[in-house]
Structure formats: C-alpha cells, structure tokens
A and B are shown apart, each in its own frame.
Chain A
Amino acid sequence: MLAASLAVAIAFLTIPVAAIFFDAGPSDLVEALGDDTTIDALRLSLVTSAVALGLIILVGTPVAYLLATRRFRGRAIAITLIELPLVLPPAVAGVGLLVALGPQGFLGGIAADAGIELVFQTAGVVVALTFVASPFYIRQAQSAFEALDPSWLEASRTLGASEARTFARIAIPAAVPGLVTGGALAWGRALGEFGATLVFAGSFQGITQTAPLAIVELFGSDLNGALALSAVLIAFAAALLATVKLTSRGRGFGLVVD
C-alpha cells in the first residue's frame, strides 16, 4: 500500500518530465534550438537570471548574516516581510512592481529622473527575477549562518579580526555549502519565473522574452521549439538540484563541519 503510493507519486511527478524528451526526437530538438526565438530567449534568461543572482547574493548575504547573528526589535517582522514574495502569486508581484516602479508609480518617477527605465526593458526582467527569487537565497543563507558555531565568530574577534573581517574570512567560507544551496535554489526560481516578468516587463523577443515566456509563445506555432527549450530548462534544473543535493551533503567543498 505504502510502496504503491510511492510508485504512483514518482510516476506522476516524473512522467511529464520524461515525456518532453520522448515526444520529439533528439535531432528535432537540436534543430529547434537553432531558431532565433529560442536562442534569444535562452541568452536573455541566462543573462538576466545571472545578474539577478549576483544582486541577490551581494545584498542578501549581509542581510542573512544580520538576521542570523543579531537579535533586535522588529527582526521577526523583517523576516516575514522578506519571505513575502514566497507566498505572493507571481502575477500579483508583477502588478505590484508595475504600480510601484512603473511610469506612474511612486518610485517610478524617481527611477525615471535617474534615467532608469524598467517597464518592458531587460532591466525590468532583472528586477522581477530579483523580487521573486531573493527569499529563496536569503532564507537558506540565514539558516546556514545560524548553523555556524558562534564561538568561531567570537574566536575570530579575540584573534584580532574586526567584525567585517570575521564575516569575510570565517562566516562566509564556513557557510559556503549553505550559500551555494541558497544560490542554486534562487537561480532555479529565477529561471522558471513567468508571471511577474510577463506583467512587469512584457514578452518582447530579445528584450524581455525569457525562456519560460518563449515556451508559451512557441507553443502555438512551433511545438518542437517549445519542447527544445523545455528540455534545456530541465537539464539546467537537474544540474541545480544535483548541486543542492551534493552541497547539502557536504560534498565537493571540503568546508563542511562534522
């Protein structure tokens, strides 16, 4: 009975993924990847998600460290607010970004004065991806920092290292496996992002049309193209999942503590 339910669950979850590879032959998939739409979409997805990931790591790492190592008033509220995008429907996130950062938005005016245009621009895609993916990194990074033995950080201080040096030389290296896991999860979320991007940045080939948006557009005209893009995203997702599994078991970095 238990074994049967496991078999049903696994079949249900893996058959659609496997079907993508079996529906069209490998040669059809490779050929479809040569199409302009798919190439632009993949390139844009990679660039925007990589930039978003960079921003998330740059700002999110100190934020996670602060939340993990300090107790202050409003900390619980800060954590809840940071987690908000996790439960927000992506389309709602897109609408929110549009209202806040669009030409009529209350921050949009400031951005426009500074010469930054976001709506229907590649930069807008980065903003949408950063918005939806950052909680995945910050949560994971926070728990990685919380798992550090506080006496390592204290020992570093008594050995003459400032707080900043302790963060850079002890906290980050010792937390690397957790940070990599968080980065992989955030990257995976960013690559799959659809709703917020569509609402906030639209779907213009080469400018804002990321791979998931391209899949939907190709679906009506070029099924093989849609399948090929899907297959690439699956391969990427699998690689990210493998990274998460390996680092959370402490392999490959030699940085994990017993």
Chain B
Amino acid sequence: MLSIEGLCQGLGDFELELTLEVPTGSCLALVGPSGAGKSSLLRCVAGLSRLDTGRVRCGEDLWSDSESGVFVAPEDRRCGYLFQDYALFPHLSAWRNVAYGLRGPSAERHQKALDLLDRFGLAARAEAKPRTLSGGERQRVALARALAVEPSVLLLDEPLSALDASTRGRATRELGATIEAAGVPTLLVTHDYEEAAILADEIGVIAEGRIVQRGTAGELAARPGSAFVADLVGSVVLSGRAGTPDDAGTPVELDGGATVWTTDQCEPGEVALSVHPWEILIEPPGSLAAGSARNRVAARVASVTRLGSRVRLGLDAGQPLAAEVTPQAVSDLGLAPGNEVLAVWKASATRIVTR
C-alpha cells in the first residue's frame, strides 16, 4: 500500500494538494492536462523533491513526513521510476543500464540484466547503446531497469507518450502485463485518458493540483462529475476480440456480448476500441436499422447526469458505455435509469486504440 496523506506542495500558480492510497497490486492513474502537477507528485513519492507538508508512506515504511522531518533519500526508497523520456544513461549499453541498480558480483549482475532484457525480448540488443535503440526498445530497457531493483512501488510518468503510433499497441500490452506481474502499488500519470483507461484499475482526474474525481474508467465515463471531467474522459474504451477483417472493416466481439464493427484494420486478437459518447445515438429498444450506422448494441441506462447543455448517459452494455444526448432527447425518450435502449454508432466512429 502506497499512501500519500495531506500532501501540499507549492507549484508556482497553484498548490498540489492531495491525499490518496494505492493498494498493493493495483494501478492508479492520475490523468490531467500538462502542468496539473502530476510529475511533481511522482517526484515527491520518489524523494526527488521534498514535501512542503504531508506524509508519504509505503507499506510500513515512512518515506517523507514534514511534521517529524523524516526524509528517506531517493536511493533508499526503491521506487521503480519510469521517466517520461526514459532517461537511459547514454554512455552505458542496454545491459549496463539495467545492471546499474543491481548489487553483487559483476558476473551475477550481468546475468540478471540479460535475463531481464530477455523477458522484454531484448536479449539481442544487450550491447547496444541507447542512441541506437528504437523508441519502443528504449521504453522496454527503461522498464527492465526500473524492475531490476525489485521496486516496492512503480511510478510511471507518461509511459507511452514518447512512442509513435506503430509501437504503442505492443508497448501498451506489455506494460499492462508488467504492471500486473510486478504486484506492487503502481502510480501512473498521463495526459492521455485512453492510456489510463487501458492500464489502470482506477483513475483519478487531476486539475490544478487536486483530484476532482476518482473511479474506474467506466464510472468516470458514465457519471462525470463535471464538464471538465467529461471533456477529459472523452472517449469510452471498450475491450474485445477482433475477428478477420474484410473490405467493410473489422468485426470485434466485445467482452460481455455484442459484436461491433470498426473501419480500422487490425490483426485478429485482443483489442481495445474507443468511441466518443457524442457519436452514440440512443434509440428505443428493438427499433430496426434505418440509417447507415452499423453498430447497434442493446444496453440498459445506468445513470443520467446533466452537464450544462448536455446529458451524459451511463450505459451498461455488458461493459460500461456512455452516450451524450440533449436534455430534449431525455424527455422525448423518457430516459431514466433502468430503461432498456439501443446504442447506435457508426463503424467509422470506432477507433482501435491498441494493435
């Protein structure tokens, strides 16, 4: 369990002010625009910055406490910190980067570093210098390096944003598996909501140094507490299994039933799809296909949340889904929690976010 209590840190225009807990084996993502104080939080946890006020503890260990003046040096905290640009040591080869945090006889360190690189499919690149590695390879070396110290907590700063679209899918899957296997509290910060929705068990939306809402991706999409959260959450992420593509697109069998189509191409297998709530039309249950929209999914209204001039519907379609409609539509269709509806959207509004 990683816990941060009453943290308060001046950051120029505003203060970072939060209290949060991340249970062992769970991943909390903090999502917010850049400059919201996300990286500063990771730095406080890692001991790279001192706290103005507050307390950071990891399990039984007290790491920082402004009251009693306790401050454990970063080298004694064993944080697996994945830096935004990976921060690989430029003068050391891949395996020496990984071995940097290891202690013991050099032959043993070498072997352990090679084993870790092998786990990330990089055994052949062990002697390569960072500048000769691709973006995806750098990310995996950095991840192997962070795991080498057998960290008591994982801190991930925008772990995928430095990667180009072609390597993101694989990197996302691997990172997800790594987080799960590490079995420690993981704190991830990102400006990319989809990244958070795919990787994290729970998401905290952070704005100007405060957590404005915390919940699972489905909860946030269905019941955003404010227009800010609704805009940030943006798309809904659905998981499923892609079938064989044809000329018209790729069929995806969603976890929890229903098959939808996307115009994106991908290899058959596990995928995540994203769709924007404002692309989803709500029709009465059982209505017949009348337009060009190809995806028609039966759902139950779980929540109705007014956000200024629009209304966010939380839907349960085997997995959480959200639609955005006008207040007029809510009254015309008599929408209320518990109603059965049909969620309808176009295959071309359905994006594959991992490949």
Which B residues lie within 8 Å of A170 (CB)? 89
Distance of A256 Cα from B90 Cα, bound (Å): 7
B119 at the binding interface (Cβ < 8 Å): no
Q: Which secondary structure dominates where chain A touches chain B?
A: helix
Whether B149 lies near A160 (C-beta < 8 A) is: yes
Q: Which residues of A contact B78 (CB under 8 A)?
A: 160
A104 contacts chain B at the CB level, 8 A cutoff: no
The minimal Cβ–Cβ distance linking B157 to chain A, given in whole angstroms, is: 9
Q: Chain B residues near A161: list those with CB within 8 A.
A: 75, 100-101
* Residues of chain A in range 122-176 having any CB-CB distance to chain B below 8 Å: 149, 151-152, 154-162, 169-170, 173-174, 176
A196 to B73, CA, bound (A): 46
Nearest chain B residue, comparing its CB with the CB of A151? B87
Within 8 A of A (CB), among B137-168: 145-146, 148-149
The residue that A159 contacts in the complex, of B48, B73, B90, B101, with Cβ under 8 A, is B101
Q: Which of B43, B90, B145 has the most CB of A within 10 A?
A: B90
Contacts of B73 in A (CB 8 A): 157, 162
A254-B129, A257-B131 in contact; A157/B87 too (CB < 8 A)? no
Contact of B90 among A156, A162, A255 (CB under 8 A): A255
Cα(A255)–Cα(B87), bound, Å? 15
Among A149, A157, A176, A255, the residue within 8 A (CB) of B74 is A157
- Contact (A258, B91) CB under 8 Å given A155-B83, A161-B75, A162-B73: no
B79 on interface, CB distance cutoff 8 Å: yes
Chain A's closest residue to B74 (CB) is: A157
Least CB separation from A255: chain B residue: B91
Instruction: Report yes or no: B83 in contact with A156, Cβ–Cβ below 8 A.
Output: no
Given contacts A157-B75, A158-B74, A158-B77, contact A257 B90 (CB under 8 A): yes
B81 interfacial contact with A, CB 8 Å: yes
Judging by beta carbons under 8 Å apart, are A155 and B91 in contact? no
A45 to B78, CA, bound (A): 51
- Which chain B residue lies CB-closest to A166? B75
Alpha-carbon distance A58/B101, docked complex (angstroms): 27
Say yes or no: is B85 at the interface (Cβ < 8 Å to chain A).
Answer: yes
Digit string of A229-250 for contact with B (CB within 8 Å is 1, else 0)? 0000000000000000000000
B90 touches A158 (CB 8 A): no
Q: Which residue of B lies closest to A257 (CB)?
A: B90
Q: Which residues of A contact B43 (CB under 8 A)?
A: 154
Contact with A along B42-72 (1 / 0, CB 8 A): 0100111000000000000000000000000
The answer, among A151, A169, A176, A257, for a CB contact under 8 Å with B83, is A151
- Classify chain B: how many residues form its interface, as a range: 20 to 34
Most buried by B among A154, A155, A174, A255: A155
**In the complex the two chains form, what is the Cα distance from A159 to B148 in whole Å?**
9
Chain A residues, CB < 8 A from B85: 149, 151
Inter-chain contact A154/B100, CB cutoff 8 Å = no
Residues of B within 8 A of A160 (CB): 75-76, 78, 101, 103, 149
| Residue in A149, A169, A176, A258 whose beta carbon sits within 8 Å of that of B87 in the complex | A149
How far does the alpha carbon of A65 sit from the alpha carbon of B329 in the complex, in Å? 65
With A159-B100, A162-B75 known to touch, is A174 a contact of B89 (CB < 8 Å)?
Answer: yes
Residues in chain B near residue A255, CB distance under 8 A? 90-91
Let me know if B100 and A157 touch, CB within 8 A.
no
A152 and B75 within 8 A (CB): no
Instruction: Tell me, rounded to whole Å, the shortest Cβ–Cβ distance linking A13 to chain B.
Output: 36
Q: Mark B112-146, 1 if CB is under 8 A from A, else 0.
A: 00000000000000000101000000000000011
Interface-centre pick from A160, A161, A169, A254 (highest chain B CB count, 10 A): A160
In contact, B100 and A156 (Cβ under 8 angstroms): yes
* Chain A residues positioned under 8 Å from B74 (CB to CB): 154, 157-158
Interface string of A167-187 (1 = CB under 8 A from B): 001100110100000000000
* A174/B87 in contact, CB under 8 A: no
Question: CA of A201 to CA of B253 in the docked complex: distance in angstroms?
Answer: 88
- What's the Cα separation between A201 and B169 when bound, in Å? 70
Q: Which residue of B lies closest to A158 (CB)?
A: B81
Would you call A158 and B131 a contact (CB within 8 A)? Answer: no
Q: Which residue of B lies closest to A154 (CB)?
A: B48
B93 CB, min distance to chain A CBs, angstroms: 10
In the complex with contacts A161-B75, A161-B100, A155-B87 CB distance below 8 A: yes
Cβ contacts under 8 Å, A152 to chain B: 87, 89-90
Q: Is A156 within 8 A of B81, CB to CB?
A: no
A255 CA to B90 CA, complexed, in Å: 7
Contact in complex: A155, B89 (CB < 8 Å):
yes
CA–CA, A127 and B93, complex, Å: 41
Q: What A residues does B46 contact at CB under 8 A?
A: 154, 158
Q: Give Cα A173–Cα B129 distance, bound, in whole angstroms.
A: 14
Contact A173–B87 (Cβ < 8 Å): no
Q: CA of A152 to CA of B73 in the docked complex: distance in angstroms?
A: 17
| Other A-B pairs beyond A158-B46, A159-B146, 8, CB < 8 Å | A154-B43, A155-B81, A155-B83, A157-B48, A160-B78, A161-B100, A254-B91, A258-B131
Contact sample, A vs B, 10 pairs, CB 8 Å cutoff: A154-B87, A155-B81, A157-B48, A158-B75, A159-B75, A159-B149, A174-B90, A176-B91, A254-B91, A255-B91
Q: What residues make up the interface of A, taking CB atoms closer than 8 Å to B?
A: 149, 151-152, 154-162, 169-170, 173-174, 176, 254-258
5 nearest A-B pairs in the assembled complex, by CB-CB distance: A159-B101, A151-B87, A157-B74, A155-B87, A257-B90
